[in-house]
Structure 1
Amino acid sequence: MSRARAFLTSHGLDLLIVVTAAVTVGGTLLRDDLEHPDGLRFLIGLVGITGSVLVLLARRRFPFAAPAATWLVCAALSFMDGQLIANGAGILIAGMGAAVLLGSVRNASLARLGLVIATAGAVTVVRNAPDSTTDDFISVPVMFGLGWLVGWALRERTERTEAAEERARLAEVEREAAARVAVAEERGRIARELHDVVAHAVSVIVLQVGAVRHRMPDSAAADREALRDVEEAGRTALTEMRRLLAAMRDDDAGPELGPSPGLDHLDRLVRDVRAAGLDVRVEVRGLPVDLPRGLDLSAYRIVQEALTNSLKHSGADRAEVVVEYAPDELCLQVRDHGRAVERSRIDGIDGGHGLVGIRERIKLFDGALSVGPAPGGGFLLRARLPLGGAS
């Protein structure tokens, strides 16, 4: 059934044109009126009237020329045999279809020219018909003119539909571009923060190596020289890392003078969020352990982004934060009690980093993220950060 429906959708009109042409040929062959021609004139009329219908099969490639040819050929054949065109049921159907197609031509000037061709052709056929009346000179052109108007209306509807689809496509492209930019910006932000952490660690290593080298006796000259090489390599790496950090920072962003925050700074974050109007409660489960500096920073940023997202979008007046220290992972949960979740919140397309930053930080530590509507209403975010993958 689905194949038949697909075939009719794609080729149904073509099938109707072929059937119409067959009906036209049959009606022409079965004519028994005294005025019907014979011999060469009959053959020319049969071929012409059949071709005037089948030419509509080329409507996709020639949207104006094909239906215009139907009317021009019919008008020309009416001079040879007026009865051939005027009394053919298949020709009536083909003429109406051609009028509709002429009205639906994309080029408005060609569509208007198509109206002239259809109405002039109809008047010509009526004039050459042997049994036409005065009323036919009005009713027949008006009938095909109405068919043209149907095509014109379909043309405008198609243009509006395609314009809406194009706007939707452009909006989707812009949304994807904005998402890529947000991901790139957030990755840069994460890299700057982690480079700060690594630079600090390298500085400590260099200082410790230098201290050990100075305390070594003169008899361990070879070991002191090796430590000197380590110290020089560390200082070179530190210099290059600082140069890289300077290049990665925004032109209008100043240096990071304060220590990088971690989960031990949650109290200060909660105070700031409460001052902004969101009542936050924090629950810590399990025995807190010392976290790697990068993971600790990312965990803090995840909670910060989640609370900021709730504050900006949910309209909630309270939220809960759960920090759970498991043996092999750190689990974070942030839930607010605001209104129903909008798709833009779940996708993280909120004009800023949103959930994009959370996803990137969790991906960095091979963690897992779950976001969506919370049972009973509101928004729920769960994040798991493996402790083994951070070492």
Structure 2
Amino acid sequence: MARSSRQPDDSLAQEARGELSPRAARALWWGTAGLVLSVLGTSVLVAGTEHGRRLPVAVALVLSQACALRWQARAPVAVLAANAATGLAVWALLPAVTLTGALLAAQFALCVLSATRPRRVSVRALVAMCLPAPLAFGAGGVAGLAVYLLTVVLAWTAGQWRRAQQARTRAETRRAVVEERARIAREVHDIVAHTLSVMVVQAGAADDVFTERPEQARQALRAIDTGARSALGELRLLLRAFGADTGEEGTGEQRQPGPSLVRLNELADTVRATGMTVHVHREGPTDGLPAAVDLAAYRIVQEAFTNTLRHAAGATELSVRVTAERECVRVMVVDNGRPQQGRSAAAGTGRGLVGMKERARLVGGSLRAGPLPGGGFEVAARLPTEGAS
């Protein structure tokens, strides 16, 4: 069962690398061998009526060409050389067969070689296939020469077109992998960074009051426990979305809803537990937003909270305003931290702020972040809701 479940993935990986899967190689062989046997075999049988003694040898050569095509995906150079030699032998035995028809199997091998081997190799093979052209001219005149050269060039061009298609597929695969890795990295960063920042603040507070006010220390420890459980729940959702969580659902653990602006108050509570005052203002409904916009807005607010906890010196108050309009969602997060030169530089180079800007960009929005003239730091994002995926 495990082997059969991996076969589609292996085939896709081989196709992305420009290789043929076993099934595709078999289909290619059956298709090309069938054409060679039907077209060239018919020509040989018709032409062989005048050369009865040569007919069995010519038929054997045609069968050997069809069999050699079985390995054209693995060794196209060797198959091309073998089929070119046997094709010339068929033409020498039965001059009534056109040179184009006699070298039909070699042209199929040239197409596969052009698609799967470097261009310098395929160009040399193209030149080698053009060398017998004078024979076509001697047998069929200008028309025979033109037909032969045209079919050879078309076979090589078809292979080059296929090679270009494979290159585009590989480029798209690499780009998709890079984008997916970046998305996973942003998700993990947002979950872990925010939770750890809150836990560090709570642990410091618990240590300060552990002896004199044990009940307050216990509250801080309970807040750490709640934050850790919330982060683990989000990580499980993330792993389940990527197919990495193979555990059964519903085994005594209640499934936690995913990150959303609907849970904005819960996010604010985790920051309030550190002793900071958090004001949340909402304007307009946010429960019907596109999933990508909803997640981006939530993560932007979460990262703004994290930056305040980690970098805002003396910050005691946070203000969050979410405005849901018909065409967009506006998110603004402002803290009252003291002005800091280092935090001004982080507006353009910090990983968290870069991640916020990237999240806004991916849904077609924009984000600006920087210190305020009178102190504090502001993060403002505009995320369009129309056309968001």
TM-score (norm 2): 0.49
The normalised TM-score by structure 1 is: 0.48
Pick the structure with greater CA Rg: 1
